[in-house]
Amino acid sequence: MAGAYIRGVGLSCALGEDAESCVSAMQRMQVRAVRLRLDEFDEPLQMPYYRIPDRSELFDAGRFERLLPPVAHAAVVQAGLTPEEIHRLPMFIGSSCFSIGLSESRYASALVQQPETAIPMPLCGYQDIAVILQRTLGCKGDTYTYNTACTSSANALLAALRMIELGWYRHALVVGAELANRTTLAGFSGLQVVAETLQPFDAARKGLLMGEGIGAVVLSAETDSANRLRVIGGASNCDTWSVTTANTDGNSVAKVLNQALHQIRVQPQQVRGIKAHGTATPAGDTAEALGLRQVFPSLPPVSVLKPYLGHTLGACCVNELILYAGALLYGFLPATPGFETPDPALGVQPITTPEPAPDGHYLLNHFGFGGNNTVLALEKIAP
């Protein structure tokens, strides 16, 4: 079992603008959603939203370039990489929005100023995150940009891990980025899956709440004795039952969980905790819960982190990994705000108060549109 060590992290989300304060806020069970209103439609859209608490206007076109670099920089600094290592650092990026917000702003401005020449999608943004980070960090390494909906940064991280294991790279920067944009907010509203409150695995759950977050992780083949967290593997598969959700019989979720356990050579009873995907949509939680119960005759403590930062979509893996890993280092398993009433059809009850986090193996679940299911495995190493 090779794996890669988590050597540096950076995070900006609704909980705060650095990783340490975010984990502390989560330990205090801080939940801070704001009320969002989009007036431009016939019927204004309103919803709770977990925004990064910077002071700028939510759809400010400069926000994308302003918020990304400090997060990645924090991860690289904490990793203690040499200038030469930073220079050759490859980037693995996962996002479902990229620079779409900036593209929307430019198109909207052009429609006002020069409507006859305005072109929609003025930016083809898949590469924009990599370009900004290469410029600001001075990295020249290979870039891989993943767009597999809500598993984007999970799959980016899995690829980074595997290429490190092959010896192609010694270190890798993995970035998840989701910032507020009208396409995502209106798109999910159109799907009618947005709720007023977030209640993962609860009998009364009605849907998801969105949020924004930028997370960055430096994975490394090398470590020092102080480093106690290692990503040890994972698995990914595709369920073609529906383009928007895994099969509600739980079979494809169970399959990817079993693949991950098989790959890391760990039995279900050895798993110390699970970070569930837990979108709180009726179908999504059903698929995840039934899959978990197929694999785990007795479930280890389950935590859902979306009540703290919202569903950060393509960035959710890296953002939630940083929070969960931080909690493990602090010695606690995160509680799940919003869960109150168990759903007997699910049989999964997330923990509602923090519990001790022993050394050992942990699983992190991610599921996304396009049938993508990805599970990552993390090890907290004994000192």
Q: Which tokens go with 268? A: 């279900």
Min separation Cβ 130 and other proteins, Å: 8
Min separation Cβ 216 and other proteins, Å: 19
Nearer to other proteins, 159 or 335 (CB): 159
Q: Which amino acid is at 208?
A: L
Min separation Cβ 254 and other proteins, Å: 13
Nearer to other proteins, 28 or 262 (CB): 262
Min separation Cβ 375 and other proteins, Å: 12
CA distances (Å), origin 31, targets 13, 188, 289, 326, 367: 11, 22, 24, 17, 23
Nearer to other proteins, 251 or 349 (CB): 251
Min separation Cβ 72 and other proteins, Å: 17
DSSP annotation string for 305-371:
-HHHH-B-GGGHHHHHHHHHHHHHHHTEEPP-TT--SB-TTT-----SS-EE--SEEEEEEEEEGGG
CA distance 357 to 364: 15
Listed residue (6, 170, 166) closest to 86, CA to CA = 170
Min separation Cβ 132 and other proteins, Å: 13
Sign of CA dihedral 48, 50, 55, 57: negative
Nearer to other proteins, 40 or 224 (CB): 40
Nearer to other proteins, 96 or 199 (CB): 96
Nearer to other proteins, 143 or 365 (CB): 143
CA distance 231 to 322: 12
CA distance 33 to 195: 13
Nearer to other proteins, 65 or 165 (CB): 165
To the nearest 10 degrees (0 to 180), the angle between helices 63-79 and 100-113 is 160
Nearer to other proteins, 18 or 85 (CB): 85
Q: Look at the block and give the residue holding tokens 């925004």.
A: 51
Min separation Cβ 84 and other proteins, Å: 10
Strand partners, 229: 380
Min separation Cβ 120 and other proteins, Å: 4
Nearer to other proteins, 66 or 140 (CB): 140
Nearer to other proteins, 23 or 185 (CB): 185
CA distance 260 to 365: 10
Min separation Cβ 188 and other proteins, Å: 8
Min separation Cβ 162 and other proteins, Å: 5
Query: Cβ distance 1 to 232 under 8 Å?
Result: yes
Listed residue (142, 168, 171, 144) closest to 156, CA to CA = 144
CA distance 154 to 316: 8
Query: Cβ distance 341 to 205 under 8 Å?
Result: no
CA distance 130 to 89: 12
3-state secondary structure of 181: coil
CA distances (Å), origin 286, targets 200, 251, 345, 372: 10, 11, 8, 16
Residues that bind other proteins (CB under 8 A): 40-42, 45, 87-88, 90, 96, 103-104, 107-108, 111, 118-124, 126-127, 130, 140-149, 155, 159, 162-163, 165-166, 168, 182-183, 186-191, 236-240, 243-244, 252, 255, 263, 368-372
